Amino acid sequence: MIDLFNRKRFFDKRIRKNLILILIIISFNFLIFNLFHDSYRMNDSHLIYALDDPYIHMYIAKNLIKYGVWGINKYEFASASSSPVWTILLSIIYLIFGVKD
């Protein structure tokens, strides 16, 4: 039978320190997941942003995939993105997983 309370083998300082770090990481991830889930549920399954930059990037990426136009309007080009690389990455994600809304 294995003695789980053998202090020399299972509870030395290094293992305790790693165990505490792992518990902190798991607790943090659980907290973030719950906050995201509650926010998503309260907003009728829509992602809502407090700032306009994420919305602009997502809208330009959506228009690029749906209409082939880089801009906030599906009829004309408009370079409104402050981070073109991020917008391209979002476009690739939309291309792979599809555009909702």
Question: What is the total count of domains within the chain?
Answer: 2
Instruction: Tell whether 58 and 91 lie within a shared domain.
Output: yes
pLDDT at position 89: 95
Regarding whether 28 and 60 lie in a shared domain, the answer is no
Q: Report the distance separating Cα 101 and Cα 90, nearest Å.
A: 15
List CB contacts of 22: < 8 A, sequence separation 6 or more: none
CA distance 52 to 55: 5
Question: What is the domain range of residue 34?
Answer: 7-42
Residue 38 shares a structural domain with residue 62: no
Distance CA 50, CA 53 (A): 9
Paired with 73 in beta bridges are: 76
Confidence of residue 8 (pLDDT cuts 50, 70, 90): low
d(CA 76, CA 79): 10
- Which tens digits make up the pLDDT trace of 23-64? 999 999 999 999 989 988 888 877 766 678 888 899 899 999
Comparison of pLDDT for 4 and 21, the residue scoring more? 21
DSSP H stretches of helix in the chain: 7-10, 13-42, 52-67, 84-97
